[in-house]
Amino acid sequence: MKFANREIEIRKMTVSDSANVAKLDRVCFTTPWSEESFEYEAHLNPLAYYLVAEAEDGSIVGYMGIWHILDEGHITNVAVHPDFRDRGLGSKLISEIIACSDVVGMKRYTLEVRVSNEAALHTYRKFGFSEAGLRTNYYEDDGEDAIIMWKE
């Protein structure tokens, strides 16, 4: 597939992607995960499944993670490099991970999202997520609330 006139491959994240995924996380989030956290997710966490979006030059321009808990999928992170936003890459990651997780028996999905993140809220609603609650002072960096969303 092409995004921003570049070929992008969506594939399963490996341990060797951890440094590049952590680098992208630092670009996208004010409280990024460490490289070690991504190594753990890719190699040791039996509940975790992550996809990366890799550009033809080998750079990671997007990623998404989900934890499989019983018949639920808890979406942990969705990140797209700013240069690749507003082109459908986040939506492609979401649709790919839901397709993969449906195969292993996930029937419901949940996530938390900043109340101020209108772009993410719009995307999640497009996939059938709806607001189910609020986690006050959820984000450590600024105390912003998170909206809890579910997709049945």
Instruction: Give the residue numbers annotated as catalytic, written as ranges.
Output: 112, 124
Dihedral angle, C-alpha 74, 77, 78, 79, nearest 10 °: 180
DSSP string of the chain? -EETTEEEEEEE--GGGHHHHHHHHHHH-SSPPPHHHHHHHHHT-TTEEEEEEEETTS-EEEEEEEEEETTEEEEEEEEE-GGGTTTTHHHHHHHHHHHHHHHTT--EEEEEEETT-HHHHHHHHHTT-EEEEEETT--TTT---EEEEEE-
